[in-house]
Amino acid sequence: MDVILEWMSQYGENQILSTAIICLICVFVTNYTGMIEKRWLPATATIIGAVIGSVFSLHYGDYFYSIGLGIIGGFASSGAYDFVKDTFVPSQKRQPND
């Protein structure tokens, strides 16, 4: 826990970026393990962002602002997930039914 708090204090100015990175990693792990359906990944990223924002709020004390930034970071990570998935992960091409 001390490592997380130290990282948060170092990157506290970039709360949205750090939240988005943590959410992106969580979404990749969630997708890889198949814990939930793929259509729920953006909502999952937003909820994870809100949870991370609440952890930031425990450290900084500004609850609504930190949770709001966490939600924005979750939205950003869901967009980043789609970008990385579409850009770097090879897609399976469908074969036409003959």
> Which amino acid is located at 75 in the chain?
F
Q: Does any domain span residue 25?
A: yes
Structure tokens at 61: 């004390």
Q: Does any domain span residue 21?
A: yes
Determine contact, residues 53/71, Cβ cutoff 8 Å: yes
Share of the chain above pLDDT 90, in %: 0
Q: Does any domain span residue 76?
A: yes
Q: Of 3, 10, 8, nearest to 70 (Cα)?
A: 8
Q: Does any domain span residue 7?
A: no
92 has a pLDDT exceeding 60: yes
Encode pLDDT of 48-84 as tens digits: 888 888 887 787 777 887 788 888 888 888 777 777 7
Q: Does any domain span residue 9?
A: no
The total number of structural domains in the chain stands at 1
Q: Domain range for residue 39?
A: 15-88
Q: Of 18, 21, 78, nearest to 47 (Cα)?
A: 78
Which residue shows structure tokens 């770097």? 88
